Amino acid sequence: MNKVYIGSRTLTLYGHPALKRLENAGLELVFGPPGRRPTEEEQLQFLPECVAYLAGTEKISEKVLKSSKNLMVISRNGVGTDNIDLEAARELNIEIKITPGSNAQGVAELAISLMLSAVRSIPIHDQELKNGKWNRIKGIEINGKIIGIIGCGNIGKRVINMALGLGMKVLGYDFDPDQSFNPSEDFQYVSLYELFNKSDIISLHVPPGENPIIDHKALSMMKDGVFLINTARAEVVDDLELVKALNTRKVQVYATDVYRNEPPEINELISHPQTICTPHIGAFTNESIDRAVEVAIDNILLVLGLDG
């Protein structure tokens, strides 16, 4: 058994020169469906013959893992593992590897891009002008405004530094704050309550928990007309409560790159005129992909004892 299943939709569609390293190590590559997440049935078809899985964001269930008797490692070309049944993987002694920090710059830059697009209504201005309409929506300047960053890890720290560079005041919240991180007198860690209460803009950079962080209670504590940016996970937001907040202008704009299903169904939140949506492009840059694939391959070769 020397097969590696390639499930990442980016790699199945575009390939990558670094995959040659696996072949040079004597491994055979088995590719999932080009450009989309493999289904459970497709995984069950090929994974029982594989010793390694280079995975994207596709769901990897207990059923799939238990059928994969030869699987030694799942190596994510990213950082999230909420798509994997981790308990089943532990029971089966399948190692789970990630690529910390590989996508941080790309996601952070997108968060800032979405913020700027939101406060100046760039998408709707572009769309209306191309449709022959000269409608101008008054925006705000971000210099001196307060941005709240929920989740101050690799990505959050980069967003903080960029926001400070744009002249913003930054409030940070983290479950386990890095007290050694002190980039400016214009940054401080605060409670969630204070962050919600004071921020003009809020950017989310946390993994999903049992309940959404942005729920009715959280929204009620926010300033009227707050801008909300989500490049983390769709599950950290309560969609129904957010639609209500958009309808009352409690939230001025919701800009998101993440969805519960991909591609998502066009629902009331996505189609809302005060929502800006991008198709999960945060880590979809040449540089992020290169970093993630190289480290993901390193992890596979290390676990299989082929790194020497």
Task: Choose among 119, 78, 120, 72: nearest CA to 92.
Answer: 72
Pick the catalytic residue: 40, 49, 262, 294?
A: 262
| Catalytic, out of 9, 205, 280, 291 | 280
86, 89, 281, 308 from 96: Cα distances, Å: 8, 8, 24, 20
Active site residue 262: yes
Q: Which amino acid is at 71?
A: L
Distance CA 144, CA 125 (A): 24
Active-site annotation holder among 16, 158, 233, 291: 233
Residue 289 is which amino acid? I
Q: What is the DSSP string of 251-307?
A: EEEEEES--SSSSPP--TTTT-TTEEE--S-TT-SHHHHHHHHHHHHHHHHHHTT--
Residue type, position 149, single letter: I
For tokens 């980016």, name the residue: 10
| Assigned token pair, 73 | 């490692």
Helix/strand number for the chain, H first, E second = 12, 12
* Cα angle 114, 118, 122; round to 5: 95
Torsion angle of the four alpha carbons 220, 250, 156, 271, in this order, in degrees rounded to the nearest 10: 120
Q: Which residues are catalytic?
A: 233, 262, 280
